[in-house]
Amino acid sequence: MPPPDVEATPDCSALQTLRPPGAIADERVAVEMPVALTVNEVSQAVMLATPADLEDFALGFALSEGWITSRRELLDVDVLPQPGGVELALRVTAAREQHLKTRRRLLAGRTGCGLCGLESLAQVGAVQPTPVQAPLLAEGALDRAMAGLHAAQVLNARCGGLHGAAWCLPSGELLIAREDIGRHNALDKLTGALARREADPRDGFVLMSSRASYELVHKTAMAGAGLLACMSAPSSLAIEMAGRVGLQLWAFVREGRATRYA
């Protein structure tokens, strides 16, 4: 079992110190910047993210979007500062490069729908996770995990505005946490951290500080975890997606309560 890893980043690159107009003291704010992801020198996506744990983000995003199917298909990641942002230059195997080229040809000429990684409504659900199975939770596990998440969000405690994603054991013990200004980015970072440690997502569950969206359910299932618990409300599409892949979905996990939706 990997050791606890709740520190999001060892430095303060994810935070910026500013003095708002009229203020008498400096304030810390979360950094949000464009992060471009390229695969074998071909542009694939540009996200707005917090520049912490970027190697985890690159690996997790590639896995959740179906660019690769395992950590070993990602050969290298270079973090390249660029004017106004940062580039994550991924190098993948020749087989996965060919897969991406085929996918781009299939998507060519279609209009965008705004769903991360896809370019038309016809492509929603094109990359489907395999069915998952939820672990058996111990009594009080969700409460213990949520208490641990508050303590693990070290960046959010300094400035606010950052979402947290955590991987927890069925007992409620929190082992790994990642933070980002975007909830889906935080989950991608967590997925990448799990993959780099070769931890089995089926051995625990994912906990989020946000609402439960379709995207979070999809990414959780793509990672192989069978249970997602969120602090806030679910959407109808999230519940539908969870039921379709067999994922156990909990929401409104707070203050000693939780509601199971799927």
Q: Are residues 180 and 108 part of one domain?
A: no
* CATH number, domain with residue 59: 3.10.20.10
* CATH number, domain with residue 254: 3.40.140.10
Q: What is the pTM of this model?
A: 0.88
pLDDT of amino acid 24: 72
Taking Cα atoms as reference points, which of 67, 71, 69 lies closest to residue 39? Answer: 67
Q: Are residues 160 and 115 part of one domain?
A: no
pLDDT of amino acid 23: 67
Q: What percent of the chain has pLDDT over 90?
A: 73
Q: Are residues 240 and 170 part of one domain?
A: yes
What does the DSSP assignment read for 93-162?
A: -HHHHHHHHHHHHHHTTPPP---TT--SGGGTTSS-PPP-----PPTTHHHHHHHHHHHH-HHHHHHS--
pLDDT of amino acid 113: 39
Q: Are residues 218 and 156 part of one domain?
A: yes
Taking Cα atoms as reference points, which of 189, 197, 192, 246 lies closest to residue 217? Answer: 246
Please check whether residue 111 lies inside any domain of the structure. Answer: yes
Q: Are residues 147 and 119 part of one domain?
A: no
The predicted-structure confidence for 132-184, as pLDDT tens digits, reads as follows 999 999 999 999 999 999 999 999 988 889 999 999 999 999 999 999 999 99
Please check whether residue 191 lies inside any domain of the structure. Answer: yes
Please check whether residue 15 lies inside any domain of the structure. Answer: no
Cβ 238 vs Cβ 249: under 8 Å: yes
pLDDT of amino acid 124: 55
Low-confidence ranges of the chain (pLDDT < 50): 1-12, 106-114
Of 77, 94, 123, at which residue does a domain stop?
123
* Residue type, position 7, single letter: E
pLDDT of amino acid 135: 96
Q: Are residues 214 and 146 part of one domain?
A: yes
* Residues in CB range of 150: below 8 A, 6 or more apart: none
Of 123, 151, 175, at which residue does a domain stop?
123
Please check whether residue 8 lies inside any domain of the structure. Answer: no
Please check whether residue 176 lies inside any domain of the structure. Answer: yes
Q: Are residues 207 and 97 part of one domain?
A: no
Please check whether residue 18 lies inside any domain of the structure. Answer: no
pLDDT of amino acid 125: 55
Residue 74 belongs to domain spanning: 33-123
CA-to-CA dists, residue 9 to 44, 170, 208, 235, 248, angstroms? 25, 25, 18, 31, 30
pLDDT of amino acid 26: 77
Strand 85-92 and strand 33-39: the pairing is parallel
Please check whether residue 136 lies inside any domain of the structure. Answer: no
pLDDT of amino acid 29: 85
Q: Are residues 146 and 66 part of one domain?
A: no
| Count of structural domains, the chain | 2
Radius of gyration, alpha carbons of the chain:
18
Of 58, 88, 123, at which residue does a domain stop?
123
**Where in the sequence numbering do the catalytic residues fall?**
113
pLDDT of amino acid 232: 97
Q: Are residues 110 and 65 part of one domain?
A: yes
CA 115/CA 26 separation, integer angstroms: 37
Please check whether residue 134 lies inside any domain of the structure. Answer: no
Q: Are residues 174 and 100 part of one domain?
A: no
